[in-house]
Amino acid sequence: MKPSKEELLTQSQYRMVERLREAEERWRFALEGTGDGVWDWDIQNGRTVLSKRWKEMMGYTEAEFDAQGGDWTALIHPADRDQVRETLRKYLAGQEGPQYIAEFRLHNKEGEWRWILARAMTVSRNSQGNPLRIIGTHSDITERKRAEETIQRQAYFDELTHLPNRNLFRDRLQQEIKRVQRANLRLALLFIDLDDFKGINDTLGHDAGDKLLVEVGGRIAATVRESDTLARFGGDEFTLILSGLGSTDNVERVAREILATLAEPFHIEGERIVISASIGITLCPMDATEVEDLCKNADQAMFAAKSAGRRRFCYFMPEMQVAAQSRLRLINDLRLALEADQFEVYFQPIIDLASGGIVKAEALIRWRHPDRGMVSPAEFIPVAEHAGLIAAIGDLVFKQTTHHLSRWRNNHKAGLQISVNVSPVQFLNNGGPYAKIAAYLSERGLPAESLSIEITEGLLLDATFATTDKLLQFRDAGIQIAIDDFGTGYSSLSYLRRFPINYLKIDQSFVRNLASDPNDMAIAEAIILMGHKLGLRVIAEGVETEAQRKLLAEAGCDYAQGYLFSRPLPAVEFEALLDGP
């Protein structure tokens, strides 16, 4: 019997459905073969079917997931839900192209947030073209996201302190410049540089130095607003953007708070560390409106703060640009001077006030510039410290000094002692000057007591265990130690009992008016008395008149140096003095 028309239609429909089912199964197989989870959303019925692989990917068995209600959208991270809904709405409205794509986080069974990449296409539409059914995949891209975050973090954040790095700082500064210009506001850029950090890093080790930098970053961050940008610019330098300022009244307050919080002792690996910082400040739009110009301004102001004595802040001024250019030329000239032997050591006699004879001398570096003539040490020593050239200059001084001293002790005065100034930067370098001094003395066959070193009060005030250890090395070797410019530094004198000091040098500011100012005379007498009570000998600097010499002698001062006796002299001229009475 021939099948009816209705039966033929039914068979045809059945075969079509079978073909669709087979095609769908092959498609599902292909999709799941990628390792992704497959989902099938029937929009009309509001029903979503999730593949077995999808549930496994989220850590569930089919029974476990179904028992929880089977609503996968409840697993979306709260912060991502609005974005997921909006992307889907735009896709259904035909605003997102032929494919649905979204990235979001899902909460898996283990309680972890996994990043998901969703892709889908519409497989069925109604007569108006609206989607009826969507099939897609969920790919776990968590590892890719972590790798991207790591790359992003390395590109824009400092690995040690986790603060923004130089790249992110510059990007944010550029954005903030545009923002304050649009809003007619202001911003302040602060460059914060730790004083003598290299010495701390060298003496305590890089691990301790790194921990110190982390704590420094934390302390500075605690003084500023969340809207401000604190970055580690590099090394021991931090930058701070104070943006959206209606006025600059609070800038100075922030700078003072930073200096105060950094002045509090740090405790790193059992060490008590006292540091300070120098801060340069520039303002936008008053000083500049370009990133490069603002950075240069802040750096120049920071250098001015260091040159003014450190532990302070300084605002940028236009004349600093001229000074910066001059400083750069000076640094280049210093490097050439070291190569061309333009430095020479002069010697200023130190007189025994009781006998009037030369018993000591101070070695003083002099630079004879081929074009400028004699350049003052007050001008080039701070620049040499900042540029990292002070160690090379110090080595030159030690080498020339021991060379001359060996001859003078053999041919003129057997007990002659020369003192050499050692800057804090030079002293705190890895190994300090001790190794070089010992080598130079040994090379010339000189006893340790033929040399003394002059250091500042500030070095002792901020002394770490490593600093103390180096001073004890000098003492044990027989090398003596003098405190230069005594009386101008700090009120706490406890270090005189804690460290192996041999000499106090009364600063010339107290000697200058001895005859006319009773207060200066009283200070000088007090220093002499205190020094003797502690078993120290006292040297007066800057003695220029007979009246000053007489008052110091009557007060019991041991030694004196100054123009009354002699200016600093080249080695040949100083040697001629040794043959005198």
Amino acid 172: pLDDT: 93
User: Can you read off the two tokens belonging to residue 108?
Assistant: 């898996």
Task: Fill in the amino acid letter for 377.
Answer: P
DSSP notation for 522-560 = HHHHHHHHHHHHTT-EEEE----SHHHHHHHHHTT--EE
Q: What is the CATH number of domain 337-578?
A: 3.20.20.450
Q: Which residue has 């303002």 as its token pair?
A: 283
Amino acid 214: pLDDT: 94
DSSP secondary-structure letter at 202?
H
DSSP secondary-structure letter at 265?
P
- CA 456 to centroid of chain Cα atoms: 24
CA dist 126 and 505 (Å) reads 99
The 3 state secondary structure assigned to 89-112 is HHHHCCCCCCCEEEEEEEECCCCC
Amino acid 493: pLDDT: 67
Q: Is the peptide bond before 349 cis (omega within 30 degrees of 0)?
A: no
DSSP secondary-structure letter at 330?
H
- The C-alpha angle with vertex 391 and arms to 388 and 397, in degrees rounded to 5, equals 140
The residues near 104 (Cβ < 8 Å, ≥ 6 apart) are 76, 77, 80, 83, 84, 115, 116, 118
CA dist 408 and 421 (Å) reads 20
Other CB atoms within 10 Å distance of the CB of residue 330: 20
CA dist 200 and 217 (Å) reads 16
CA dist 22 and 29 (Å) reads 10
User: Can you read off the two tokens belonging to residue 264?
Assistant: 């509090």
Q: Is the dihedral of CA 196, 198, 199, 205 positive or negative?
A: positive
Q: Report the candidate in 244, 202, 216, 208 with the shortest Cα–Cα distance to residue 158.
A: 216
- CA 271 to centroid of chain Cα atoms: 20
Q: Which residue has 């000098």 as its token pair?
A: 474
Q: pLDDT tens, position by position, for the chain (581 residues)?
A: 555 555 545 666 556 555 555 555 555 555 555 578 888 888 888 888 888 888 888 888 877 776 555 678 889 999 999 999 998 888 888 887 788 899 999 998 888 999 989 998 888 888 888 888 888 889 898 888 888 877 777 778 888 999 999 999 999 999 999 999 999 999 999 999 998 787 777 677 888 889 999 999 999 999 998 889 999 988 899 999 999 887 777 899 999 999 999 999 999 888 888 889 999 999 999 899 999 999 999 998 998 898 887 889 999 887 777 777 788 888 999 999 999 999 999 999 999 999 999 999 999 999 999 999 999 898 898 888 878 888 889 889 999 999 999 999 999 988 999 999 988 777 666 555 666 787 888 888 999 899 999 988 777 765 666 677 778 888 888 889 998 888 765 545 666 777 888 999 998 988 998 888 889 899 999 999 999 999 999 999 999 999 999 999 999 999 999 999 999 999 999 999 987 65
What is the reported pTM? 0.58
DSSP secondary-structure letter at 376?
P
Question: Where is 500: in which H helix or E strand?
Answer: none
119 in Cβ contact with 101 (< 8 Å): yes
Amino acid 465: pLDDT: 60
Torsion, Cα 412 415 421 425, to 10 degrees, reads: 120
Q: Which CATH architecture has domain 157-317?
A: 2-Layer Sandwich (3.30)
Q: What is the CATH number of domain 33-147?
A: 3.30.450.20
Which whole-number Å values give the CA distances from 549 to 525, 552, 556, 557, in the listed order? 13, 5, 11, 9
The residues near 545 (Cβ < 8 Å, ≥ 6 apart) are 515, 564
